Amino acid sequence: MEENKSEKASAVSLLQRSPSSPVVCHATGFYPDRVVVFWRRDGQELHEQVDPGEVLPNHDGTFQVSVDLNLTAVPQEDWGRYECVVQLRGIEDIPTPLDPAHIRTNREGSHILAFILTGVAVLAVVVAAVVGVFLYQKRNDSDKRHKPVDSDTSSENTEEQKLAAEAQPLTTGQS
């Protein structure tokens, strides 16, 4: 049995993985699943350079869809002529202008993340080196303190070895 849900507008985001990737118009959180998402240039719907995605369900019962626009041949100064449009039945069109300042990318903060990860790695190596030197010194100090330096013990061993050698019968090469 289907729940009685009211129609719900969506949130629209523009995404791009890298400068050479398509710009993705991602609409999510809409209900029902009957939606049309497309790209326009100068008010005209585009069919070329566009890769429409399928409508997918979200965990909360709403839906999402993405539509890619390939802009590799379009200079960035012309991007202002483009917009993503989300049309939901019974709700006004939701146009989202293609503004480079509003595109979310993986490039934002990637340098900061690289610096942070490098710093953590360097810190881990330094800490490991300090701990290694400390443990090495501690072990050497411990060995020096616990080594017996009793000369009587070493001389007793030598005497025992002499007696053992004298007690051995002499053997000759005769059979």
pLDDT digits (tens, 9 = 90+) for 31-41: 888 899 999 99
- Both 114 and 89 in one domain: the answer is no
Q: What is the chain's mean pLDDT, rounded?
A: 80
- Both 18 and 42 in one domain: the answer is yes
- Both 31 and 82 in one domain: the answer is yes
- Both 121 and 51 in one domain: the answer is no
- Both 95 and 23 in one domain: the answer is yes
pLDDT digits (tens, 9 = 90+) for 17-27: 988 899 999 99
At 83 the pLDDT is 95
- Rounded distance, CA 96 to CA 94, Å? 7
- Both 42 and 115 in one domain: the answer is no
pLDDT digits (tens, 9 = 90+) for 25-84: 999 999 888 899 999 999 999 998 899 999 999 999 999 999 999 988 888 889 999 999
pLDDT, greater one: 165 or 125 = 125
- Both 101 and 31 in one domain: the answer is yes
Q: How confident is the model at residue 114 (pLDDT cuts 50, 70, 90)?
A: low
pLDDT, greater one: 59 or 148 = 59
Q: How confident is the model at residue 136 (pLDDT cuts 50, 70, 90)?
A: confident
Q: What is the span of the domain harbouring residue 138?
A: 109-146
At 139 the pLDDT is 83
Burial group, residue 81, by CB count within 10 angstroms (0-12, 13-18, 19+): middle
- Rounded distance, CA 25 to CA 32, Å? 19
15 sits in the region (left: phi over 0; alpha: psi -120 to 50; else beta) called: beta
| Number of separate domains in the chain | 2
- Both 28 and 79 in one domain: the answer is yes
Percent of the chain with pLDDT over 90: 36
pTM passes above 0.75: no
Tell me which residue of 15, 3, 142 sits closest to 62, measured CA to CA. 3
Q: What is the CATH number of the domain that holds 96?
A: 2.60.40.10
pLDDT(94) > 60: yes
